[in-house]
Structure 1
């Protein structure tokens, strides 16, 4: 598309203006906008105005400027061409014909007379990327010059991250330096023989000296991205304060991670979103997840080899990594993306691409599923470690000892309570993910997400029965007390003969005290009464 579009009387930024796409960030040769296809509002769609192409790093959609316009307006490419020309000639956009021809040089936006595919007039000149060894040397010495402040170390040692001091030091995490040290750090690197030109993050200041792009707004923890060869390819920053747009709703999480990059600076270089590797380069089994820090923590907890991508659909560099690992003897790839791969179509799409890439290189691929109460593989493993460390005999266990669960199908508890008690029947229904249904919008989510998906009540047809049993509990207990004990008993693990997963949001529990059946939708620790038609649900698997 980029070669043919050189003859077009417009560029892709004209299309961006016509579609009113919101620009979130500007680079030397591209901008990041909100994606009109998946609706993501974090600026994940890259629009390259030199090549006249676009790609959303969240949903994976991509193409040229005509199918960008055509896709949004549900028309053909030929109709898109005509409509764009008509709009520009009518002066409907300040970017194209009939508007200003001035160039926003500071933003790196090409002038109107600049043709696609050429160096944009007034664009920001970029350095050619340095060699792998040069990048590694510069980053390694930079990290040696930096320290990890107590607050960042405390965060990494917290229950949320679960790392030890020795692990933190071995992984090379450091705190970003203050802005006033950027020039002196760069000069020290250059004096030690390091190359900074072409290393992501470094750029030539308008004052004529080289410096590195750190700032108070982007302060946080530096996380190295390492290749199979052990060389640092890039660095991410876990931000102290996530980036949020002023128009974003309060509940929306901001951007937590950014790459150390200088692509919007004079003689700067893009990070390139490298793939991260940690573990044994000759491992027969590797795990693939999203997020460098997540992979590092999971490696420390599981002692398994991990590959980390920067986004679920940001897999451009995963193919070369798989090719090398296959040559090294890797036979099995385990996809370990977060559990929202069951509710988010974009993440599910990225997971499917991992299967295809693995097969292309002769490797088998499997999906890893865990307790859906925990989003990431690191969260799950940290929870298992905490559970293992918990002492027996706490108040929760003392309360649980007053409830006696029967083995499935027997109706017989392990022992009969020595207090006045009552027998209850209960069933657990969970979402069924068969071959034709990869995602369900409200999977492992609360009642509001069920309603947002268009359901007033949980649709029994997409559920299956996974447990059918009884319990004995003190006489006079209410539904909520019974449900709490079921949640405690099935919330962390399930019996060996259970076909389901630990109890989680979106599950439905049926209670039957002999006088009638009642149904409850699990929403975290809340049990929402709902209507449910059990005869529509799939029967229990044998």
Structure 2
């Protein structure tokens, strides 16, 4: 029998602590401060789970292996189990699940320091020029409210289905050094490559700095894994790879006196495109340190007010109705017993996580002496989210779409912003 400690060794994940609960360098976002925790045992029972408190990545040891090795499909966990078992059998063998005293040599991955913003942006810009956007992905972006012109302006691209080694080779021939560029690494053939596989195919969404440079990419997955829709383009734990650091993204005028804050990378782009307002997008509601740094820079530019537009999960109905996540509700043993009568603990965790992120934003604004206003929308009379439009981009787009359908808009170009036509919402000073 193997455990998540064995899987970590097999994948070459760098440990920061030891024991039955140990911290590692996050293989998804590259955090080195111990935010990623692996747990073999919890309360005397086998757990074999992981959770990163920076990027939110979580799952069990089979999820970990499948995601990092690019295994997808309905049999991904069976394949992962078989590969792990074979690899460990051919190596040093398996250890007892409770054994935390292993002192064998772990695989050491030679990583690179993440390159500076200027270098990253130059290479990412050139990569964008080499890639295209599929018609399917273009239609998906337009269905979210972006026009064809806006899609080009923000440089969305489809992940390539093959030829990643060739793309890296072209960049090198043009004089670019790929060392320290998140997403690039040296593969088993000792050739530079890009960390794009079957399991992370989707739309490349650029994350922009306040100065307009490309910090990195998030991938909007075509086939979400365990309800996870987004992954960073990262090459953490790969030879000569580098972590993405999960940057905050900015779109708009860096000298505006007001900025709106929401979650993600794609959402703020859509919200900005619909409204013309300036937006900061944070990769996770709890990544408040990088968000506060961005707010401090904007304050130096004259920022006075912050509007919090985090998703309406912050006011979700946390009752058990079997309607949370398919991967969660499908495994819940209490669904029928609690239906309509008890609180869903998973919903409560999600709501409380977003509320904690909101509070950290309010505290950051307080430290920076910035006025902060909380925004709400799509609510019932009792203040609970009505369950229709979770994100502000969804809410604005649903309202604008109705108006555009009435006038026969073709979706090719939207030359003016529709601020005056945006639906109304609630406000509260934080």
Residue 481 (structure 1) aligns with: none
- Kindly indicate whether the alpha-carbon contact (under 8 Å) linking 1:234 and 1:271 is maintained by their aligned counterparts in 2: yes
188-197 vs 330-339, greater mean Cα deviation: 188-197
Q: Distance in 2 between matches of 1:227 and 1:192?
A: 25
- Segments of 5+ residues of structure 2 without an aligned counterpart are 1-14, 58-94, 317-350, 380-387, 408-421
TM-score normalized by structure 1? 0.53
Q: Distance in 2 between matches of 1:236 and 1:303?
A: 22
Residue 205 (structure 2) aligns with: 223
Matched, 1:185 2:189: no
Quote the offset at 1:44 in angstroms: 7.1
Quote the offset at 1:24 in angstroms: 9.6
TM-score normalized by structure 2? 0.66
Residue 115 (structure 2) aligns with: 130
In terms of fraction of residues, the more helix-rich structure is: 2
Structure 1 pair 391/186, CA: closer, same or farther in 2 (3 Å)?
A: closer
Q: Deviation string for 1:418-462 (max 9, x for gaps)? A: xxxxxxxxxxxxxxxxxxxxxxxxxxxxxxxxxxxxxxxxxxxxx
- Kindly indicate whether the alpha-carbon contact (under 8 Å) linking 1:290 and 1:309 is maintained by their aligned counterparts in 2: yes
Residue 389 (structure 2) aligns with: 374
Equivalent of 1:155 in 121, 125, 140: 140
Q: Distance in 2 between matches of 1:221 and 1:57?
A: 19
Say which SS state the counterpart of residue 368 (structure 1) adopts.
Answer: strand
Q: Distance in 1 between matches of 2:30 and 2:369?
A: 38
Structure 1 pair 190/25, CA: closer, same or farther in 2 (3 Å)?
A: closer
Quote the offset at 1:321 in angstroms: 0.5
Q: Deviation string for 1:450-487 (max 9, x for gaps)? A: xxxxxxxxxxxxxxxxxxxxxxxxxxxxxxxxxxxxxx
Matched, 1:12 2:14: no
Quote the offset at 1:195 in angstroms: 2.1
Quote the offset at 1:150 in angstroms: 0.9
- Kindly indicate whether the alpha-carbon contact (under 8 Å) linking 2:21 and 2:39 is maintained by their aligned counterparts in 1: no
Say which SS state the counterpart of residue 317 (structure 1) adopts.
Answer: helix
Quote the offset at 1:190 in angstroms: 1.3
Q: Deviation string for 1:206-243 (max 9, x for gaps)? A: 32221111112210000000100011111000000001
- Kindly indicate whether the alpha-carbon contact (under 8 Å) linking 1:132 and 1:233 is maintained by their aligned counterparts in 2: yes
Structure 1 pair 44/146, CA: closer, same or farther in 2 (3 Å)?
A: farther
- Kindly indicate whether the alpha-carbon contact (under 8 Å) linking 1:24 and 1:33 is maintained by their aligned counterparts in 2: no
Matched, 1:238 2:220: yes
- Kindly indicate whether the alpha-carbon contact (under 8 Å) linking 2:28 and 2:232 is maintained by their aligned counterparts in 1: no
Q: Distance in 1 between matches of 2:225 and 2:161?
A: 18
- Segments of 5+ residues of structure 1 without an aligned counterpart are 1-9, 47-54, 60-90, 104-109, 111-121, 245-253, 393-491, 495-499, 502-542
Matched, 1:351 2:358: yes
Residue 447 (structure 1) aligns with: none
Residue 386 (structure 1) aligns with: 401
Structure 1 pair 390/175, CA: closer, same or farther in 2 (3 Å)?
A: closer
Equivalent of 2:239 in 253, 266, 273: 266
Report matched runs for 1:295-306 at 5 Å.
295-306=268-279
Residue 342 (structure 1) aligns with: 315
Greater relative contact order (Cα < 8 A, sep 6+): 2
Matched, 1:328 2:301: yes
Corresponding pairs, count? 312
Q: Deviation string for 1:485-527 (max 9, x for gaps)? A: xxxxxxx989xxxxx97xxxxxxxxxxxxxxxxxxxxxxxxxx
Quote the offset at 1:389 in angstroms: 3.5
Residue 369 (structure 2) aligns with: 362
Greater gyration radius: 1
- Kindly indicate whether the alpha-carbon contact (under 8 Å) linking 1:28 and 1:126 is maintained by their aligned counterparts in 2: no
Moved over 3 A (4+): 10-13, 23-37, 55-59, 91-95, 100-103, 389-392
Residue 256 (structure 2) aligns with: 283
Q: Distance in 2 between matches of 1:177 and 1:210?
A: 16
Structure 1 pair 146/329, CA: closer, same or farther in 2 (3 Å)?
A: same
Say which SS state the counterpart of residue 274 (structure 1) adopts.
Answer: coil
- Kindly indicate whether the alpha-carbon contact (under 8 Å) linking 2:55 and 2:283 is maintained by their aligned counterparts in 1: no
Report matched runs for 1:323-472 at 5 Å.
323-343=296-316, 344-372=351-379, 373-389=388-404, 391=406
- Kindly indicate whether the alpha-carbon contact (under 8 Å) linking 1:299 and 1:306 is maintained by their aligned counterparts in 2: yes
310-319 vs 217-226, greater mean Cα deviation: 310-319
Structure 1 pair 346/206, CA: closer, same or farther in 2 (3 Å)?
A: same
- Kindly indicate whether the alpha-carbon contact (under 8 Å) linking 1:261 and 1:269 is maintained by their aligned counterparts in 2: yes
Q: Distance in 2 between matches of 1:93 and 1:57?
A: 27
- Kindly indicate whether the alpha-carbon contact (under 8 Å) linking 1:148 and 1:173 is maintained by their aligned counterparts in 2: yes
Quote the offset at 1:56 in angstroms: 5.5
Residue 100 (structure 2) aligns with: 96
Residue 417 (structure 2) aligns with: none
Q: Deviation string for 1:105-146 (max 9, x for gaps)? A: xxxxx4xxxxxxxxxxx3211101111111000000001000
- Kindly indicate whether the alpha-carbon contact (under 8 Å) linking 2:54 and 2:284 is maintained by their aligned counterparts in 1: no
After superposition, the CA RMSD in angstroms is 3.4
Say which SS state the counterpart of residue 217 (structure 1) adopts.
Answer: helix
Residue 174 (structure 1) aligns with: 157
